Amino acid sequence: MRIFWIVLGGLSIVAGVLALANPLAATLTAERLAGWSFLFIGVLEIFAVFQQKSWRGRIWAILAGLAFAILGVMLLARPLAGILSLTLIVAILFLVAGAVKLAMAFSLERGNGFWLILLSGALSIVLALMIFANFPASAATILGVLLAIELISNGVSMIALSSSAPVNKT
């Protein structure tokens, strides 16, 4: 099992490096993946609603499923608009997460992780401001760079996980 985690981690790292080598292609891939995911989840949610015997809350579940499916179709039909929208959402999430982390840091005593949480919050806000300052040009690559970082981080964690996997002795 250990070899499996190492190989999987290595493949994830290679995919991340390839995404960093061509962040525009990775951005388009991330946008397409989001579009198909929303469409698939929306259709599955609508299907699941009709498998239920009770009508309680069914209309809300159908509306949510329709919203997901429509969002997926819109992302797939207009990928460039989707990239712009997703980039704005990422920037807003970074900004909000950074503000929450800063507030959390100042609610802590100065010793218990204060500086790490403060730094993390400040970094999130700086990233958001960088995206906003260079928008819409930042939309062409930011999703691909974030995907690459996630793939590399995921690969490193899988390889680290391999050291805790039991060794098969056959």
**Length of the chain as a residue count:** 170
Q: 149 in the Ramachandran plot: left (φ > 0), alpha (ψ -120 to 50) or beta?
A: alpha
HSE value, Cβ hemisphere, 13 Å, CA-based, for 30: 29
More confident residue, 113 or 32: 32
Q: What is the pLDDT of residue 86?
A: 92
The pLDDT of residue 117: 87
Q: How many CB atoms lie within 10 A of CB 8?
A: 16
pLDDT (tens digit, 9 = 90+) per residue, 44-68?
999 988 887 777 778 888 999 999 9
- Secondary structure of 59-104 in HEC code, one letter for each residue: HHHHHHHHHHHHHHHHHHHCHHHHHHHHHHHHHHHHHHHHHHHHHH
pLDDT in tens, 10-32: 999 999 999 999 999 999 999 99
